[in-house]
Chains A and B, each alone.
Chain A
Amino acid sequence: VTLRSAWRRVESWHDELFVTKWRSALQREAGRQEEAFVAILYLSAFGIDDPSGFATLELTPELVDSFHRWHRQQGLDRFPATGVCC
């Protein structure tokens, strides 16, 4: 065991013990922000007027996968409105 590999092991042990919990919080926060963003982009799919729709319309095809994941997380296996996804 070289000094370098021992140091790497200590680093890995430290990060697993102290950092992973916190990185999860960051991921959770990022996930929440993405969910909110996706939900806002697809407001019109829910029949709600979307004032930013004109500006964000071109983003929607890029985010169909995210939207699909989002509505499944919300408990809807298939999104009921036609022409959105599924």
Chain B
Amino acid sequence: MPAIVVLVVVLGVFYLGWRYYSLYLAERVYVLDDGRRTPAHALTDGIDYVPTNKHVLFGHHFTSVAGAAPIVGPAIAVFWGWVPALVWVVLGTVFAAGVHDFGSIVVSVRNRAENIGTLTRTIINTRSRTLFLLIIFFLLTLVNAVFAVVIGNLFVANPGAVIPIVLEIPLAIAIGAYIHRTRTSALVPSLVGVAILYALILVGNAYPIELDGMAEAVGVGPRTLWIVLLFAYAFVASRIPVWILLQPRDYINSHQLFIALGVIFLGLLVGFDRIVAPAINTGLPEGTPNFFPFLFVTVACGAISGFHSLVASGTTSKQLDRESDARHVGYLGALGEGSLATGAILATTAGIAAVGMDWRETYPDFATAAGGAVGNFVAGIAGFASHLGVPEDLGRIFAAVVVISFAATTMDTGVRLQRYIIQEIGEMVGARPDGTDRAGAGGTFRRATRNLTAVTAMAVIVPLGLALAPGGGDAGFAFGRLWTLFGTTNQLTAGLALAVIAVYVTRRGRNPIAQLVPLVFLLTMTTWALILNLVDFVQEGDWLLAPLDLIILVLAGWLIVEAALALQRARKETAIEEDVPR
């Protein structure tokens, strides 16, 4: 089937979801009211709380939520066939992610733009705040581990990407300094910066950098060496003020996101590629995980992602000009992420044929599919880019640069956030009510978390250990398992946010079915996947991933209990009117 037909159908379904389902949510479930003052107006400070045009805010929200994760998951999941992966992406986006992202903004806006962690405490209970912190801790640990492996794999497979990626750091700092020091428009410097970055692809292609010799000298594989170097980089980068490196690089990434989407959809249109993967893969080898439930944790971002609730309630809700804009920003943001995931599916099922790759040979088993997923995406983008006149080798480096830039920024942000989470956990376990340290291990831990070097080391060492776990440094089965564990924590975060939204809606006497269906589905799939994984880990004697899986399973059980209790309480309460005065 021509990939463009699939794309048109997907965009058509997205349009229907936007036109009808999001309208139902806006009018009947969230009951948006433009007469209500949003925090951007009530608490305006010109920095965080700024009323922002809905199209601009959509751009901010979309570029904050879209990254490498909606690429990796779908690129693995096509192993079960492109139809199951696409159906989950489309239905998940329309009926789960849209509800979740839109609802997270609404609930936050109605509660003085509080973030989802605080909302968990105020809307469900104090215990849930602890649950939230623990889920986020494991989410960030797994994010940092999987993205280090992703980048390591890409550097080994695409040594031409090393020079552009390394030089992107001073380039970002220079663009940042220029824009900071001048008050002129940033358009020309940005175009020049992106042009320099892509010109560096030519340099990288001419001078590929491989670490084989150095890796051999220290007695490890090149991928392992890259992973260690990446965590050393994350350790240093995460201690630099955000405005020096993280923000300017994120700024370049925002441009790259639109360029990459343009290449995917234009290349698809010009090349008229056909999908070469089976609609449903009936030739699955023995030992392949069942697509029920693993498909639904493999594709987390791209179908529904708990991370979006952090962005929606952390920054977006502070800038919402009118309540009705929440539909535009939240629901369309989810559709944007779904479009990126669809692009990843089409790149790995149609684009790869344009560079002469055979799909069956590329996806022979789940281990290879998982380990090579990002490489396949890179090849697919090179295929699409080749229709636009870009040579294949340069197209591969271009796609690798895009994915590595996203993943490296995610790692930098992830280590920073993990530091705050560890410090909060330190406060939780080591602080007395009067603010002094408790005696014993709790107090010692709290004291350690106050030291920037110690807390950054804690944030780096745990994911580094996971990324270097046996097999984890290779494009092997361990990556697929780490990825599914990451998916489960992401889905649990989404589940927690959906529970908060469902309780909020129920308390107002409205029907929470739009939240409950995705919530129950997510928790069922997540728990099921965790149990199956746990059995496998124990049978195989994997004593690193088994305890991790068990802890996440306990968190899932805890979440189910809290959500059920909170919903039951909310049903018994008298329906209340909105809690923010006009």
A72 to chain B, nearest CB (A): 12
- In the bound complex, do residue A12 and residue B185 qualify as a contact, i.e. CB atoms below 8 Å apart? yes
Distance of A63 Cα from B53 Cα, bound (Å): 35
- In the bound complex, do residue B251 and residue A29 qualify as a contact, i.e. CB atoms below 8 Å apart? no
The 8 A CB mask of B186-199 against A (1 = contact, 0 = none) is 11001000000000
- In the bound complex, do residue A14 and residue B242 qualify as a contact, i.e. CB atoms below 8 Å apart? no
Q: Which residues of B sit under 8 angstroms from A18, Cβ to Cβ? A: 59, 63, 186, 190, 251, 254-255
Chain A, interface residues (CB within 8 Å), range? 10 to 19
Which of B47, B50, B251 contacts A19, CB < 8 Å? B251
Taking CB atoms and an 8 Å cut-off, the chain B residues in 179-215 that contact chain A are: 179-180, 185-187, 190
Can you add 16 more A-B contacts, CB < 8 Å, to A17-B56, A22-B248?
A12-B185, A14-B185, A14-B186, A18-B186, A18-B254, A19-B179, A20-B56, A20-B60, A21-B60, A22-B247, A22-B250, A22-B251, A24-B48, A24-B50, A28-B48, A29-B243
A16-B53, A19-B251, A24-B48 as given contacts; A29 in contact with B185, CB under 8 Å: no
- In the bound complex, do residue B47 and residue A24 qualify as a contact, i.e. CB atoms below 8 Å apart? yes
Distance of A12 Cα from B53 Cα, bound (Å): 13
- In the bound complex, do residue B47 and residue A11 qualify as a contact, i.e. CB atoms below 8 Å apart? no
A24-B50, A28-B48 as given contacts; A15 in contact with B185, CB under 8 Å: yes
Task: Say whether A85 faces chain B, with CB atoms less than 8 Å apart.
Answer: no
Using a CB–CB distance below 8 Å, which chain A residues touch chain B? 10-12, 14-22, 24-29, 31
- In the bound complex, do residue A31 and residue B47 qualify as a contact, i.e. CB atoms below 8 Å apart? yes
Q: Which residue of A lies closest to B246 (CB)?
A: A25
Distance of A29 Cα from B180 Cα, bound (Å): 12
- In the bound complex, do residue B242 and residue A11 qualify as a contact, i.e. CB atoms below 8 Å apart? no
B249 to chain A, nearest CB (A): 11
Q: Main secondary structure on chain A at its contact with chain B?
A: helix
Distance of A22 Cα from B409 Cα, bound (Å): 15
Q: Which residues of B sit under 8 angstroms from A14, Cβ to Cβ? A: 185-187, 190
Task: Say whether B46 faces chain A, with CB atoms less than 8 Å apart.
Answer: yes
Distance of A24 Cα from B251 Cα, bound (Å): 13
- In the bound complex, do residue A17 and residue B187 qualify as a contact, i.e. CB atoms below 8 Å apart? no
Which of A11, A21, A26 contacts B185, CB < 8 Å? A11
- In the bound complex, do residue A27 and residue B47 qualify as a contact, i.e. CB atoms below 8 Å apart? yes
Task: Say whether B35 faces chain A, with CB atoms less than 8 Å apart.
Answer: no
Q: Which residue of A lies closest to B56 (CB)?
A: A16
A17-B56, A18-B255 as given contacts; A26 in contact with B186, CB under 8 Å: no
Taking CB atoms and an 8 Å cut-off, the chain B residues in 27-71 that contact chain A are: 46-48, 50, 52-53, 56, 59-60, 63
Task: Say whether B581 faces chain A, with CB atoms less than 8 Å apart.
Answer: no
Task: Say whether B241 faces chain A, with CB atoms less than 8 Å apart.
Answer: yes
A23 to chain B, nearest CB (A): 8
B416 to chain A, nearest CB (A): 13
A18-B255, A19-B179 as given contacts; A10 in contact with B241, CB under 8 Å: no
Distance of A10 Cα from B241 Cα, bound (Å): 30
Q: Which residue of B lies closest to A31 (CB)?
A: B47
**Smallest CB-CB A-B distances: 7 pairs:** A11-B185, A17-B59, A14-B187, A11-B187, A19-B186, A27-B47, A22-B247
Taking CB atoms and an 8 Å cut-off, the chain B residues in 226-274 that contact chain A are: 241-243, 247-248, 250-251, 254-255
A10 to chain B, nearest CB (A): 7
A4 to chain B, nearest CB (A): 13
- In the bound complex, do residue B247 and residue A25 qualify as a contact, i.e. CB atoms below 8 Å apart? yes
Residue among A10, A20, A31 with most chain B CB within 10 A: A20
Distance of A21 Cα from B254 Cα, bound (Å): 11
Give me 28 A-to-B residue pairs in the complex whose CB atoms sit less than 8 angstroms apart, sorted by A's number.
Answer: A14-B185, A14-B187, A14-B190, A16-B56, A17-B56, A17-B59, A18-B63, A18-B186, A18-B190, A18-B254, A19-B179, A19-B186, A20-B50, A20-B56, A20-B60, A22-B176, A22-B179, A22-B247, A24-B50, A25-B243, A25-B247, A26-B180, A26-B243, A27-B47, A28-B47, A28-B48, A29-B242, A31-B47
- In the bound complex, do residue A15 and residue B187 qualify as a contact, i.e. CB atoms below 8 Å apart? yes
Residue among A15, A21, A31 with most chain B CB within 10 A: A21
- In the bound complex, do residue B47 and residue A15 qualify as a contact, i.e. CB atoms below 8 Å apart? no
Q: Which residues of B sit under 8 angstroms from A28, Cβ to Cβ? A: 47-48
Distance of A16 Cα from B52 Cα, bound (Å): 9
Distance of A18 Cα from B247 Cα, bound (Å): 11
Q: Which residues of B sit under 8 angstroms from A26, Cβ to Cβ? A: 180, 243, 247
Q: Which residues of A sit under 8 angstroms from B241, Cβ to Cβ? A: 29
A26 to chain B, nearest CB (A): 5
A6 to chain B, nearest CB (A): 12
Q: Which residues of B sit under 8 angstroms from A16, Cβ to Cβ? A: 53, 56
Distance of A22 Cα from B185 Cα, bound (Å): 13
